[in-house]
Amino acid sequence: MSEETRLREDICLFAKSMFDRGLTTGSSGNISARTPDGGLLVTPTGSSFGRLDPARLSRFDEGGTLIDGDKPTKEMPLHAAFYETRRRTGAVVHLHSTHSVALSMLPEIDPDNMLPPLTAYGIMKLGKVRLLPYYRPGDPAMGDAVRGLAGRRTAVMLANHGPVVAGKDLEAAVYATEELEETAKLAILLRGASPRMLTEAQQRDVIETFNVDWD
């Protein structure tokens, strides 16, 4: 099995796993991943994570030209912005996960770092998550907003829409996206309960031990 064939199957496998667990529904969400030759595989527009066909994924060459497969997701400008500004990016995952979206709507959320320091893994896998304003789905301005961060964040949250997370490879991007949703779920469950957060010293220990980007 070629590396690209395996990547195609892995995209569909991870997508179905997230769909089956309710992390995204209907035809929402999209995934892109870097191919061995520098191109991209992208989930098609209007497709369901529960029924992706590896052979029909949108295929881009290294220059960004669609060369095979179905029409890609309309969120391509968003994905492209991460690849352009974070050279280490090997995959990008965008979901409409319920708790993350709910957290993005709360008035007390810090837009520079929307996740409270509840667990070490939330910090390790995500760093600071920037809350971006609401944009119409498919609006190229979303990509411009990500470019404006100049590669300083691996994850952003689109207000009233959903998280977008970049990783060094597909597995890392998926796991980080799931961690974002779980941390958001904890934040919603604990809202108003005055939970014990990680202290500044504990946060700094995690950041330094695991070399977390924290600009």
CA distance 92 to 110: 23
**Which stretches of 108-189 are DSSP H helices?**
120-126, 141-147, 170-189
Please report the pLDDT score of residue 214 as a whole number: 87
Given the residues 75, 178, 181, 182, the one annotated as active site: 75
What pTM, to 2 d.p., does this model score?
Answer: 0.96
The pLDDT confidence band at residue 103, using thresholds 50, 70 and 90, is very high
| 175 a catalytic residue | no
| 121 a catalytic residue | yes
Contact 195, 189 (CB under 8 A): no
Any idea which architecture 3-209 has in CATH?
A: 3-Layer(aba) Sandwich (3.40)
Given the residues 4, 121, 171, 175, the one annotated as active site: 121
CA distance 197 to 175: 22
Token match 């100049």: residue? 150
Contact 27, 11 (CB under 8 A): no
Q: What is the pLDDT of residues 133-185, one digit of tens each?
A: 999 999 999 999 999 999 999 999 999 999 999 999 999 999 999 999 999 99
Q: What is the pLDDT of residues 172-193, one digit of tens each?
A: 999 999 999 999 999 999 999 9
